[in-house]
Every structure is written in structure tokens, then in C-alpha cells.
Amino acid sequence: MTSLRDVLSRRRDDVPFDVVRAAYCELHVSNLEASRHFYVDLLGLVESARTADTLYLRGWEEQTHHALVLRERPTVGAARLAFRVRTPGDLDAVEQEFVRRECEVERVSGALAGMGDAVRVWDPFGFPLEFFHEIARFPTQLQRFDLHRGAPIMRFDHLNIHAPFVEETTELWLDLGFHCTEYISTDGDGERLTGCWLSRKSLVHDVAMTAGTGPRLHHTGLATADPLSVLRACDQLAAAGHADVIERGPGRHGVSNAFFVYLRDPDGHRIELYACDYYTGDPDHPPLRWSVSDPSCRSFWGAKAPDSWYDESSVVLDRNGNPTPIGEAGVDERTARSVLMA
Amino acid sequence: MTSLRDVLSRRRDDVPFDVVRAAYCELHVSNLEASRHFYVDLLGLVESARTADTLYLRGWEEQTHHALVLRERPTVGAARLAFRVRTPGDLDAVEQEFVRRECEVERVSGALAGMGDAVRVWDPFGFPLEFFHEIARFPTQLQRFDLHRGAPIMRFDHLNIHAPFVEETTELWLDLGFHCTEYISTDGDGERLTGCWLSRKSLVHDVAMTAGTGPRLHHTGLATADPLSVLRACDQLAAAGHADVIERGPGRHGVSNAFFVYLRDPDGHRIELYACDYYTGDPDHPPLRWSVSDPSCRSFWGAKAPDSWYDESSVVLDRNGNPTPIGEAGVDERTARSVLMA
Amino acid sequence: MTSLRDVLSRRRDDVPFDVVRAAYCELHVSNLEASRHFYVDLLGLVESARTADTLYLRGWEEQTHHALVLRERPTVGAARLAFRVRTPGDLDAVEQEFVRRECEVERVSGALAGMGDAVRVWDPFGFPLEFFHEIARFPTQLQRFDLHRGAPIMRFDHLNIHAPFVEETTELWLDLGFHCTEYISTDGDGERLTGCWLSRKSLVHDVAMTAGTGPRLHHTGLATADPLSVLRACDQLAAAGHADVIERGPGRHGVSNAFFVYLRDPDGHRIELYACDYYTGDPDHPPLRWSVSDPSCRSFWGAKAPDSWYDESSVVLDRNGNPTPIGEAGVDERTARSVLMA
Amino acid sequence: MTSLRDVLSRRRDDVPFDVVRAAYCELHVSNLEASRHFYVDLLGLVESARTADTLYLRGWEEQTHHALVLRERPTVGAARLAFRVRTPGDLDAVEQEFVRRECEVERVSGALAGMGDAVRVWDPFGFPLEFFHEIARFPTQLQRFDLHRGAPIMRFDHLNIHAPFVEETTELWLDLGFHCTEYISTDGDGERLTGCWLSRKSLVHDVAMTAGTGPRLHHTGLATADPLSVLRACDQLAAAGHADVIERGPGRHGVSNAFFVYLRDPDGHRIELYACDYYTGDPDHPPLRWSVSDPSCRSFWGAKAPDSWYDESSVVLDRNGNPTPIGEAGVDERTARSVLMA
């Protein structure tokens, strides 16, 4: 019988395209100036471009045009989870893959500043994905230490989603060539997956998912250089009178080893600032399992996450910018845990 | 009319003795080996001496014989809050002061390893104090970086008590020559003190008190070199399977600027590991006021302290090693806050 | 005309094998116990296996069997610069490539503990390379913070060589599918390459080379989690009476942004402990050029490297364990610089 | 026979005044705007006040009006080494002390912004000292993390002087109530003092001296919160194109445990940024001796200081703002060392 570990350990060698990494997230916000204040003034992200209703931001080491796109729209939500592919040919191959899967697929060109062709897809679970190759570049500011502000935030790292069908959703990402680095599952017979971390870029994750009401975006992960940067972000936010945006942490995750803090932007979109990733690029790097009944997987030091961290997430938007209806999860991590620990 | 600030700003120039600093704490524990495991194996404190029922510990930069004395006894509690005075003459003067105040006073000699004469006092509020001058010295191990274990913990820093009569208790410590560096008080008419930080050694505190059920010892504060040491302690404790001893934090206090974590030892005695103190030695260094209705005073980043942190403390022991009866506080910080914020 | 930048920017899409990363280095040492003391007792590397004359070491996050192999032999030198390939098939393809290049090639099986098949190659410039796929695995100790010793050293990162024909050597590595992330070159007409950093694993380098007397191994780069780990290593070495092993730094390189310190082991083999790498995995990540006349490329803060750092390196060993004869560099970085700055 | 250690261990109990700490330094500079750029734009000190020719600066935790006074004058040099006393009465007592010693003494009032009465003294060795009690206060900005710039620099810490008669000069400071925390001396018969660290504020030093050509000011020590702040200062200076101002370090001193970097301002005045001090306030805290032949006293990690660090210092200015003639030291630390190590 095939175990969950076997399934998660398998590597697809025959994927006809090469996804390089998760690259950016487009969020619809209710007030662009309020969002700008949060992301630029408070967190110190770098502005790459701005139009009347859209702001393009990147981290201090990033050379690609944007890591975060903020767009003022009547309906707030996550509009786009975007991934870069290695070549223009990979883009065609991705398009074919999703056409084959009978998903809604749209090819756009220059839809965002600094970008060429992109393939937009609404995946079978309702997540609004985008794949692209071409993007404008800036010189690195990694060593402009004299200009760095905020934590500082160095680069985009990952997307974390709430998925009602976490096992099926994981299967999709494995099919896209991602490999599982860590996962959380129930104990005993009928092992169920409750969380999964999947990577392309040789670190812990480009995309991760937690069983939960969805499709929703749980958070966008932004990388800082070290744990002290995370502490500095908290100090600066609090000093500026915005301690209320700190939802959880700072703390250490068991899963991923992340030293994290979770922030909520003016529309409630969740941002993780994190440090302490590790290398996962070896071909036989095995998935690391955590039991859902082991509280250290979420909080290595034992601090309980607030319920909002489990319950609240950004809705994702459909082709018309409307919220995608959400469904309940088959497995809830907290329920699974409490049942098992009872 | 004299304001609370005026009272707390006054410096006594005529105190006939010179208390150098808070120096050590003696805790009675139920199982010395369990305590040794916690303080030595897990936290990395240095053993100075050990007898059948007593363990003497110090930090890595400390040259005086002990910062923490652990004694196995049937009744668990805080047996001694000890302060060093500048000269043997100061010891006599302190003795006279407490005799004058009609407190229970006892002069002992060589009662603890490494010590000479000491004056033991049960203050008017029931706290078991000790003053001493003579203590054995070890060479510093500040630069034995090759031996350092744990956070590492560098030195004893302060004692924090739960005092039912916080205003009267503060007055005592001002009379002993301590100056107030920070305080928390209620807003509006009839301002009441709910917390006070008092110093002799030019940092934020040697003794601090919070209005609460007492007399009890809230925690013993141990200094680390920097915030990363506090994070390292959490990582090491969790990795060793002891995440459950982490009660609160890590986080930043508004009061004192401390970067802190609170731990509970096997008997529930609370230890604070902390960093980020500041200089307070100038003669006109003014008390910094925090409103009890400002949550940032306790938690600069906004994380709520668990109720245990407010409610639980170590009982203090009387001359016979029995718990001193405790009384309710006139003002409770959480009540004061919620009333005011209602 | 093709510029140096053009040459260094080209990506080979047709390489018939996939090198994952630089994986380990085998050093021949004169006294295994002295080396063990240095690498295990002082630096805190983890022992994976030991035989009478050989020690296998790895970092705290590493799951592969070894990052460093120390072998006691009469002739001291660098015996093997080893790289992991993605599949067993890649190993065959690499073998064919070097046979095609008419290099000395040897296929071995189980020659080292924990390893299966390996292809050993003496490249056209005399460097003793090895490629392998199969290697035994250990569970990660990334989160065994309670066991970590030393800096701690997390993982093997890169190999840095002294190459007399730096341009030709760079071409070889480009042909093997490595991409150039940074380089140093002379100014003006007849631009010459004096240093080059080449990567497979999406960080700055797996292999780097400096124009110089060679073939020689300049250093083995080991990654720590953050800059404070590098400082801690210096403090621990000095406290243990071994400040003399610190050759250069700590400091910041302009090239690679590394926060570094260089150490010399008991036989003079050079180790770099470093932190502060960055992501380079995007397909159009451009090579970053530094002028050889800009001192900030080597020392961002301006501290001059000692001459030993330029002049001394480990000889590399031939098939019989004898030193490979060394030749003078066509371009010397210091000469190039002083000529240009004169 | 009285040993050097005995002399340095003695504490004066009868000093009729109480010096709280070294408080500020006044430097004469050739171009106020260039100095402002260095100290404010690059290092991030806070401006307290500015006049046409004078700039008053302080650190982020400081509440007293200035830690550094920069004055544009034709003759560059150190004009004032200033110390705060506890009470106005202490100021009178200090004045009498120096009158008794037949030094040049001048009482001024409001000579600098934010100050009241001050006693200016040219000590027997030519150093321009000032003592004062009254000084204006600002609210602390310790927790304005959102405003902090630069390292950041938290507060003034100490003055380090080049003294031709280091033993006699040390005696003066012992007479003023300072206690010796660490010292460097020659080995064998006829032990000579070559460096001495003296404190009032319970940390390692308020004033330190090195045997050398003088009277001169070697450097002004400014405290940062932790070692990473020192690294950040180097990164920021280098990124802004000013790596050339970094003279020595970063590194660890054996003496004082300081994690340091030495900078030179536009006129060559030397600034030390430092972290990792320790508590020295106990009445029997013993002087820690270092042998002049032990290189770890100056450089715990072994890096050699550049000759400029030994040879160059700021001249001190007399009452008329002219350089005080300088004399050779009786003992030179480097000579003492090389003779002894020969």
C-alpha cells in the first residue's frame, strides 16, 4: 500500500516545464495610500513603479520588477499568485498543461508594468495563478546598506494558502514539479494530510498549504536577512504606533525552522516576515513529517497561535475580480489535533 | 499638592548606608536535582559550590560567589532577596535602620557558602530581605567564550515582587536610597501606582514591584548579552523537549525596554531572561511614567500576557521556612486597566 | 565583438547532466587528531564516521554523509573537490564529458564511507574533481539547538581555487552548466578576468576562482546561519588559545556580500566561515562586475587582506597523492590593481 | 613593597566630590558642515542644537543635552573632556581640588548651549577638563525605533587619552575617585604601567589612557546596543562611499571585552563605536591585569592594529584654543612589547 510519505516523496522527472520560483502576489486593496503607508513607510519595501491605482514593490536584494502588486479596487482580495518559469517555451508548456486540465486559462501581454507575456489560470480549486517568464530588471540594492529601511525585507519568498482539499491541491503542485519538504499529518490509521510545504527554489517553500476554509490566501512570505531584522520590524511598527498590526509572534516555527512574525495590512491581508530558512535542493531531500498532534510543528516554543491566524485569510478573486466562493475543509488542523489529543 | 511624580522623583541624600545592587535570590525547591537540570544543564548557569541540599550558581561574567541559591526543602518558596552593601559599616547601618523600623532582624555569619556577615530582615510587608557586604570571589569567565553554555546568562540583574501595598512598599525602597526609573499608574483623579521600577546600580532596576496578591516574588531577572541570546535560550529549551517552561515571550516590554522571555522552573519559580537595558545613573534621571491603560507598557508589540503571568508568583518564606500569608492587592493592574478602558 | 560580460552571461541549455551543487572536499592532513581537534572540538562540526586514518564531518543542517573528509597522509594537500549530480544517469554523462575532453577519468565505487559510485577526474588544469550521486543520509539536526556547538557551522557551501588560467578555467565551469554570478576584471582595453564566482545551487557560488599560482585550493567555504555566528567562532577560537588560526577578518566582502572570517587549519588548509548569501536562481540573473582596481570588491570596509591570503593555498594532489606542479598566473589581482592604480 | 596592583586596587573613600560619569567631548573642527555630514548623516547622531559655528549632538537613549560638541575653529583639536558631577556642591569641591593642585581653573556659566555653571581645568598634564552639574534634558528616544538611524549610537561612553606620564596621570584619576577596572603593564622587575582603564559609572571606563606621545585625545567612545550595530555602521559607511573612515576593526578587544570599530572623522578625530561592556560596580571589583607582551589584550582575535592607531591622536587645546605642546612617552606599548618578546 502506498503511504502518504511515499506519495509526498515522489519526484516528477517528466514535467515539461520548469517553474523557477514563486515570484509575486497581487493584492486588491481598498485604499492604495493606506497600503503604501504600511508597505513602504512602515515596512520599507522599495517602490518600483506607481500608477494612479497600482503600486509595484520589491525587496532590497531583488532585481525583478515586483514582489508585491497592490491595486486599489472595490473588492478586496488576492488577485494573483504568480510564478516565474525558466524560458518562454516553459510558458507555452504551462499553458498547455492547464488547457489539458480544462481550467480557465488566459494569456495576457503587458498586463502589468514591467512584464511581458503571462499565462493566467484559475486552477481546479479556484486559486488565481499566473505564470510568466519575462520581467524587467533593476540593479540590486543588496549592498546599499545606507538606503535600507525597515526590517529590511530582502525578497519575496513564498505563498501560503488555505485549501479545503489539501491532499488534492498538494497533488496538483507535485504534478507541476514542486517537491514536498515538510508536511503535517494525522496519526494512526487513515493518515490525512493537514499541511504541506512545497518547493522549487531549493529552500523550504514556494507554496505551502494548510487544510482550511478556502480557496483563500493565508499569507505572503517575505524574507529578511536574519532574526534580528524580524525583531527590528516589530520595534519599528510599535514605535510608529502600529503594534496592532502584529498578529502572531515573533516566534519559531517547528515546520520550516522559520523565525517569523505575522502582520496584517490595512485590509487584513497577512504578511509573514521570516528568516532562518535552509537548503533543500538535493534530489533525495526527504519530506520531513510532523504529527498534527505535536504542537511544536506550528510553534516550536509553545506559544499558542491566535484563532484569527487559523480562521482568517484573504479571499481569492475570480476573473472578474469577485470573491471566489469558499468551502469548508475536510480536515481542520485544530480539530484533528484536539480529537487526537482528547 | 504633591503629585505621584513628585514623590517618585525625590532622591534621598541622607540615607546612612549605600546599597550597591540586588545580588542574589535564594529559592527553596522540592527536588534539587530537577532544579540543577533546569538551571545548569538547560540554562547553562555556572556552579560555584554544591552541598547535599544546596546549589550555588552564578552567571558567566560574575565574580561574586552566587547569584542564585537553590535549597531543597519541604516547603517551596522564595527564602531570601539579597542585596549587597558597599562597606561593612553600611551593614551595621542597615541593621539599625530595620531595628528602628521594628522589623524582625537577624544577624548571621557564614550562613551560606562564600559569605561572611549578613543582616536578615523581614520587612513590614513580609518580604525576606538580606543585606551583606562580604562575599567570596571567582575570576571572571566573561571571555571564556569556549566554555559558555546556554543563552549564555551573564549576571543576576533584579528582583520583581508582587506587592499588595505597592505605594507603601515603593516608599520603603525610596527610603533605602533606591530611585524610581519607571512606573505605571492609573489615569485621571486619584492617580494610583500599580507598578514601580527602582534602581541602585545605574540600570533600570534592582527591585521592581507590581500591585498584586502578596507578598510574593514574581520573578528573578537574569541578564543576557543581547536579544539573540534570549532567542537561543528558547531554541535550546524547546530542542531539549522543554518548550513547556516558556511562559511568556520572547517579546519587548515598553517599561524598561527589556527584550524578555519568562520561564518557569520545575517548582514554578519564574525566571526572566532579558537584554536591552539602559543607563539611568544621572542624578536627575527622571521617572518615566506609563499609563496603566496603555497596553504597550507591558507588551510593546501588543502580545497579551497569559493570566498565569499576572496571577502566579512564588510565596515568600518566613523565619521558619513557612509561607508568609498573602493578602489581596488594593489595585489590580488588569482591573485598573479594564475599568479605565471601559 | 564579444565582451567578457557577454561570455560570462551565456547560459548553456544543452548540458547533458545536472550538477546539483559542490558537496564536499577531501583534505589530506599530517595529523588526524590535530585536525579533529580543530574541526570538531574548536569549530563544532559533526562527526559522521571515523576510521583509523579518516574522519568524515558534516554541518548541523546537513543530511548527506559528509561535507569534509580528512585523511591522514604523508603528503598534505587537497585530494578531492566533489560535486553532487542529480541522477545516476547524470554521473554517466559527466564521465563521458571528461573522457571526451581526454582527461584522466576514474570510476570508483564505495571508495569513501557512505558513498556509492563516483567519477574522479583530473581536469585540464590539474584540479582533482569528483562527481557522485549516491550518498548516505542522516536525519537533520537543524533544530537540535541543544546540541549545536561552535559557530555553529550549518553546511558546506563552496570551493574557491587559485587558477593560473582563470579565463580558461571559467570556460570549463560554464561548459559544465554553472552560471557566473559575480566577477572581477581589469579596466580599459583588453579586459582580463581576475576572479569569477560560479553557481549551480541558486546562491552566489559552488565554485569560485582567483587568478593565481595554481592549481591550488584557496579555501573551503562553510556556511553559518548569520554574522553573529562568525563572531562567535572568533571568540571561541581566541578563548581556547587559538587566535593564531584567524588569518583574515571578520569582515564583509564586496563580492558575494559574504560576512566572512578565514581560518587556517593545523596544516594550513584555509576555511572560510561565512554568512549573508543571496538568491541567484533566476534564469536571467546577470553577472555582477567588479573592477580589479576597486578595493571594495575584496574588502567592502577597506581592511587590507594579508599577503598570505593571496599567496598561500593548498596544493592539489594527483592520482598518486602527490602534489600537482603549479604554474604562475597570467594575471595577478594585486599586480593588476597596483598597475592600474599607479 | 607596594605592587602596581596594590596601587591600582586602592579605593579613595574620602574624595569630597562625586563624579558621575564622563559626559561629553568638545572637538574643534575645520568645517562644521563636513563634520555634520559625518556625525549626523552617516553615523546618525541626534542634533540637539545648532548655532552658526557649533553643533550639539547626542545618542538615541540620551536625555542630557549633548554628548559631542563640534565647533568650527581655525585650530583643530580636542577642546574639552567633560565630566558630570552629582550636585552643585560637588562642583565647588572639584574647583577647590584643582585650585589646591595649583592648576589653571576657570569657572564659566552658560558657556555652552543647555548648560549652567561649569569648572574648566587644565590638569597638570595639560588635558583640558571640564566638570559640570547642570545640563538641559530631552525626553528619551530609546524606543523611537522608527526614527533611529545609523548604528544606532545609543550614548556617550568614554574618553581615551594618550598620556606621556601614564602612571602619574592614572594617580590623578584615582585621586578623583575613579577606580581601575583593567590595566596593561610590563612583565618582570620594574613593572611599568602602559595602559589603564578607570571608571565611575559601573561599566569598564569613563576615562582610559595609553602611554604615548601626549597630552592627546586618542578617541571618544560611543556605545551601541550590540555587535550587529557596529557591523551595520561599517556597512552603511562603506555603502555611502566612506569605507576610508574605518581605521581599525571591527574586532574584539581583550581589554574591556569591547566589540569595536574605530573611525576617523573629517579632521582625523577618532571615534570608537563599541558594544559588550560589563558591570564593574561592586566595591571590591578587582583590576584585571594584562601583560603588555600578550597581544590578545589589544586584539583578542589577533588582528594587528595599524600604526596610525598607535601614533595618531587629536592634540588637546589650551585656554586660547592653541595646541598644547606634546612630549614623548616614557614607555611605549609597542616598544615594551617588542623588547619583551625579543
Q: What is the mean pLDDT of chain A?
A: 95
Interface contact B144, partner C, CB < 8 A: yes
pLDDT given for residue C221 in this prediction: 98
Residues B192, B197, B198, B203, Cα dihedral to 10°: -150
Sign of torsion over alpha carbons B235, B255, D230, D334? negative
Rounded CA-CA distance D194/D191 in Å is 10
Q: Which residue from D22, D68, D40, D63 is spatially nearest to D151, judged by alpha carbons?
A: D40
pLDDT given for residue A280 in this prediction: 98
Rounded CA-CA distance C66/C80 in Å is 13
Interface contact B228, partner A, CB < 8 A: yes
**Using a CB-CB distance cutoff of 8 angstroms, which residues of chain A are in contact with residue D237?**
146
pLDDT given for residue B340 in this prediction: 39
Q: What is the ipTM of this complex?
A: 0.95
pLDDT given for residue C333 in this prediction: 67
Number of C-beta neighbours around residue D135 at 10 A: 21
What global pTM score does this model have?
Answer: 0.96
Contact yes or no for B128/B318 (Cβ under 8 A): yes
Which regions of B187-334 does DSSP assign to beta strands (E)? 193-199, 207-211, 216-224, 246-252, 259-264, 270-275, 288-291, 314-315
A211 or C336, which is more confident: A211
Q: What b/e string do you get for D295-326 counting C-beta neighbours within 10 Å, with b at 16 or more?
A: bbbbbbbbbebeeebbebbbbbbbeeeebbeb
Residue range B182-196, pLDDT digits in tens: 999 999 889 999 999
Interface contact C235, partner B, CB < 8 A: yes
Radius of gyration of chain A (CA): 19
Q: What is the mean pLDDT of chain B?
A: 95
Q: What b/e string do you get for A35-49 counting C-beta neighbours within 10 Å, with b at 16 or more?
A: bbbbbbebbbbbebb
Rounded CA-CA distance B254/B289 in Å is 11
Interface contact C243, partner B, CB < 8 A: no
Could you give the angle at the alpha carbon of A334 between the alpha carbons of A328 and A336, nearest 5°? 85
- Residue B339 pLDDT exceeds 60: no
Residue range B140-150, pLDDT digits in tens: 999 999 999 99
C-beta atoms of A296 and B243 within 8 A? yes
Around A71, how many Cα atoms within 13 Å sit in the side-chain half-sphere? 18
Which chain A residue shows the shortest CA-CA distance from C227?
A: A226
Contact yes or no for D282/B18 (Cβ under 8 A): no
Which chain B residue shows the shortest CA-CA distance from D86?
A: B283
Sign of torsion over alpha carbons A235, A240, A241, A242? negative
Residue to substitute from C255, C301, C304, C308, interface D, most D β-carbons within 10 A: C301
- Bridge pairing between strands B270-275 and B216-224: parallel
C-beta atoms of D235 and A145 within 8 A? yes
pLDDT given for residue A341 in this prediction: 36
C-beta atoms of C234 and D252 within 8 A? yes
Rounded CA-CA distance A108/A134 in Å is 12
- pLDDT confidence bin for B332, thresholds 50/70/90: low
The DSSP output letter for B37 is I
Contact yes or no for B272/B261 (Cβ under 8 A): yes
C-beta atoms of A147 and D232 within 8 A? no
Question: Pick from A228, A237, A239: which is nearest to D144 by CB?
Answer: A239
**Using a CB-CB distance cutoff of 8 angstroms, which residues of chain C are in contact with residue A288?**
140
Whether cis (ω within 30° of 0) applies to the bond prior to C215 is: yes
C-beta atoms of C87 and A283 within 8 A? yes
- Residue A336 pLDDT exceeds 80: no
Provide mean pLDDT across the span C53-69.
98
C-beta atoms of D238 and C296 within 8 A? yes
Chains contacting D with at least 3 CB pairs below 8 Å?
A, B, C
- Residue D227 pLDDT exceeds 80: yes
Of A78-87, C70-79, D4-13, give the lowest mean pLDDT range: D4-13
- Residue A102 pLDDT exceeds 50: yes
Place of cell 549592498: A143
Question: Pick from B142, B201, B282: which is nearest to D84 by CB?
Answer: B282
Radius of gyration of chain C (CA): 19
Q: State the smallest CA–CA distance between residue D227 and chain C in angstroms.
A: 8
Residue to substitute from A141, A146, A245, interface D, most D β-carbons within 10 A: A146
- Residue D327 pLDDT exceeds 90: no
pLDDT given for residue D332 in this prediction: 64
Q: What percent of chain B has pLDDT over 70?
A: 96
**D213's grid cell:** 606621545
Rounded CA-CA distance D16/D96 in Å is 10
Residue ranges of the alpha helices (H) in B16-162? 32-36, 88-100
Q: State the smallest CA–CA distance between residue C281 and chain A in angstroms.
A: 7
C-beta atoms of B301 and A252 within 8 A? no
**Using a CB-CB distance cutoff of 8 angstroms, which residues of chain B are in contact with residue C144?**
239
Interface contact C308, partner A, CB < 8 A: no
- Residue D237 pLDDT exceeds 50: yes
Residue to substitute from B14, B132, B279, B284, interface D, most D β-carbons within 10 A: B279
Question: Pick from B84, B279, B282: which is nearest to D282 by CB?
Answer: B84
pLDDT given for residue B24 in this prediction: 98
**C211's grid cell:** 587568478
Residue range D126-146, pLDDT digits in tens: 999 999 999 999 999 999 999
Contact yes or no for B214/B326 (Cβ under 8 A): yes
- pLDDT confidence bin for A331, thresholds 50/70/90: low
Q: What b/e string do you get for D241-271 counting C-beta neighbours within 10 Å, with b at 16 or more?
A: ebbebbbbbbbbbbbbbbbbbbbbbbbebbb
Provide mean pLDDT across the span D237-250.
97
- Residue D283 pLDDT exceeds 60: yes
Rounded CA-CA distance A198/A205 in Å is 5
pLDDT given for residue B335 in this prediction: 60
- Cα first-last separation, chain D: 29
pLDDT given for residue D340 in this prediction: 39
pLDDT given for residue A338 in this prediction: 43
pLDDT given for residue D329 in this prediction: 65
Q: What is the mean pLDDT of chain D?
A: 95
H or E, element range at A36: helix A32-36
pLDDT given for residue C334 in this prediction: 67
Residue range B251-310, pLDDT digits in tens: 999 999 999 999 999 999 999 999 999 999 999 999 999 999 999 999 999 999 999 999
Determine phi and psi for D232, rounding to 5 degrees.
-65, -40
Distances in whole angstroms, Cα of residue C221 to Cα of each of A146, C42, D270: 28, 17, 35
- Residue D46 pLDDT exceeds 90: yes
Q: State the smallest CA–CA distance between residue A204 and chain B in angstroms.
A: 19
Sort residue C190 into left (φ over 0), alpha (ψ -120 to 50) or beta: left
Q: Which residue from D144, D170, D138 is spatially nearest to D62, judged by alpha carbons?
A: D138
Interface contact B319, partner D, CB < 8 A: no
Residue to substitute from D146, D235, D245, interface A, most A β-carbons within 10 A: D146
Interface contact A227, partner B, CB < 8 A: yes
- Residue D99 pLDDT exceeds 70: yes
Rounded CA-CA distance D26/D48 in Å is 14
C-beta atoms of D63 and B227 within 8 A? no
- Residue B342 pLDDT exceeds 50: no
Amino acid at D30: S
Provide mean pLDDT across the span A110-123.
97
Q: Which residue from B328, B330, B316 is spatially nearest to B28, judged by alpha carbons?
A: B316
Sign of torsion over alpha carbons C162, C168, C173, C174? positive
Judged by DSSP in three states, A35 sits in helix
Residue range A245-303, pLDDT digits in tens: 999 999 999 999 999 999 999 999 999 999 999 999 999 999 999 999 999 999 999 99
C-beta atoms of D145 and A232 within 8 A? yes
- pLDDT confidence bin for D339, thresholds 50/70/90: very low
Question: Pick from C243, C299, C301: which is nearest to D301 by CB?
Answer: C243
The DSSP output letter for A25 is E
**Using a CB-CB distance cutoff of 8 angstroms, which residues of chain D are in contact with residue C237?**
301
Interface contact D253, partner B, CB < 8 A: no
- pLDDT confidence bin for C342, thresholds 50/70/90: very low
Provide mean pLDDT across the span C63-76.
98
- Residue D39 pLDDT exceeds 60: yes
The DSSP output letter for A135 is B
Q: State the smallest CA–CA distance between residue D151 and chain A in angstroms.
A: 11
Rounded CA-CA distance A174/A170 in Å is 6
C-beta atoms of C63 and A201 within 8 A? no
Place of cell 603528503: C75
pLDDT given for residue A342 in this prediction: 34
Give the 3-state DSSP-derived string for chain D, with helices as H, strands as E and coil as C: CCCHHHHHHCCCCCCCCCEEEEEEEEEEECCHHHHHHHHHHHCCCEEEEECCCEEEEECCCCCECCCEEEEECCCCEEEEEEEEECCHHHHHHHHHHHHHCCCEEEEEECCCCCECEEEEEECCCCCEEEEECCECECCCCCCCCCCCCCCCEEEEEEEEEEECCHHHHHHHHHHCCCEEEEEEECCCCCCCEEEEEEECCCCCCCEEEEECCECEEEEEEEEECCHHHHHHHHHHHHHCCCHHHEEEEEEECCHHHCEEEEEECCCCCEEEEEECCCCCCCCCCCCEEEECCCHHHCCCCCCCCCHHHHHCCEEEECCCCCECCCECCCCCHHHHHHHHHC
Place of cell 549516491: C134
DSSP assignments along A243-259, one per residue: GGGEEEEEEE-SGGG-E
- Residue A340 pLDDT exceeds 50: no
Determine phi and psi for A34, rounding to 5 degrees.
-65, -40
Q: State the smallest CA–CA distance between residue C45 and chain A in angstroms.
A: 17
Which chain D residue shows the shortest CA-CA distance from B157?
A: D279
- Residue A332 pLDDT exceeds 80: no
- Residue D333 pLDDT exceeds 90: no
